[in-house]
Chains A and B, each alone.
Chain A
Amino acid sequence: MSRPGPRRRSVIIAILLTALALVSLEVRSGVVGAIGGGVREAFGLVSSGVSFIIRPVTGTIQGLTDARKLKAEIEELRTENERLSKEIRENAQLVREAKELRELRAVRESAESVEVAVARVVLASPNSLERVVTIDRGSSDGVKVGHAVLSPEGLAGIVEEVSPGTAIVRLITDNSSAVGVRVTRSGETGILKGTGRADGLLKLELVAPQAVDKGQVSSGDVLVTAGFTGGLYPPGIPVGQVITVDEGKRGGDANVFVRPAAGLSRLEFVSVVRPGSSERTARAEESE
């Protein structure tokens, strides 16, 4: 293999130096960040045209895969039904689940958040190493870095960057995502982290790991945002449900995996919220 000539060596050095300069230019807050905002807004327009053509195609393909999923889901539901029937006979699980649902409804209603904007997801990152999307609302709509982003089912992510007309949202499934959560049944708290796993599950790191041994966290438990003081997320937003608790590693090292409540692979419309008393709730209380 021949060694690169001086011209090629200088091209390689120029590439690396330019990249380094861009990275060290405080990429998002300075000039590069402003350019990025402009590019995303322009791409939002291109994307509208592209999605007009592509979405029917992707929708059809998704529909085909969904049909297979539905069949599998029917089978799963059948099994689940048998299991639940058995549990109803044993009269325990259903009572607990009903209580949990009531609690979830209560915390959802009491989620202390103010809606900043309703936005449409216009782009997903072409880089599969990260889980981020671009929404069509930005700083001119009141969206700020750190605002929480909700899907109709629950927490989707957090605003990472804003430009006047767009914002980048880091989804809770992203590797670097971390959300303070609370188990509705037991009140146990922990940090829910993105894992980058193919199945999209999140990992729960409990503040008190022994809670697993004490039965304070188990499969089926529902998690909501904890709303820690100084935290970014308003309290009481549904985040996910515990799917598996690694039985083999109990005693401090339990692996607790959680399925996000939000359907993050089919995000279309989202709500951007910030912590605070809901004006709507306040108005409703006043009128009562």
Chain B
Amino acid sequence: MRQWVVLAVTIVLALAISAEMALGLSVLRVGPDLALIVVALVAGSQAPEQAAGTGFAAGLLRDLLSASPAGTGAAAFALVAMGISIAGPRPGLGGYLTTVGAATLAVTFLHAVFAAVGGDTTSVSAVLRVALVGAAYNALLTPLLVPLLRRLSLAPEAV
């Protein structure tokens, strides 16, 4: 139970910090997504169903803070978290970076597709830019978050 509370607080804080960073520290108009980094790193050590639940909750919270239809980001987060869980943990910095980078690409593309189905279209070039810059930005911040998540026992220790 305690672990779930810690995870929920971490995701809320990650979203709040992301929203703050998106105001002043965006790169090429792309802000970091700390909640996605947390979900991606935690999913590796969760069962697929748990990972999907964590992803869905985090994605839904993110949707409610934005103008995109609620459920679109949630579905993207949940499917990607489940995918990471099924693929299994990839400890070590290289593994974390790959996981976060791939998760960012996948979430951005899936979210864009789901949003388009809901009638909220974005140009392909904008989606590509957000996906690539976002993946690089998130990967850059991952080494800063991993020790924190390990300290909170949310991310697996390196092998």
Contacts and interface: CB of A to CB of B under 8 A. Distances in A.
B28 interface: yes
Contacts of A50: 13, 16-17, 20
Interface stretch (B38-46, B95-103, B113-121, B147-155): B113-121
A133 B23 contact: yes
A83 interface: no
A11 B19 contact: no
Interface string A46-65: 11001100110011011000
Nearest to A59: B24
A123 B19 contact: yes
Given A11-B49, A198-B28, A47 B56 contact: no
A15 B62 contact: no
Interface in B1-52: 12-13, 15-26, 28-31, 33, 35, 48-49, 52
Contacts, number: 182
B118 to A, nearest CB: 5
A51 B28 CA distance: 22
> Chain B, interface size: which category?
35 or more
Interface of A: 4, 7-8, 11-12, 15-16, 18-23, 27-28, 32, 35-36, 39-40, 43, 46-47, 50-51, 54-55, 58-59, 61-62, 121, 123-134, 160-161, 168, 170, 173, 175-176, 195-198, 200, 265-267
23 contacts: A4-B86, A11-B49, A15-B56, A15-B78, A23-B71, A23-B72, A39-B64, A39-B65, A40-B65, A61-B25, A62-B25, A123-B20, A126-B19, A126-B31, A127-B63, A128-B22, A128-B33, A128-B133, A129-B111, A131-B29, A173-B29, A176-B121, A197-B126
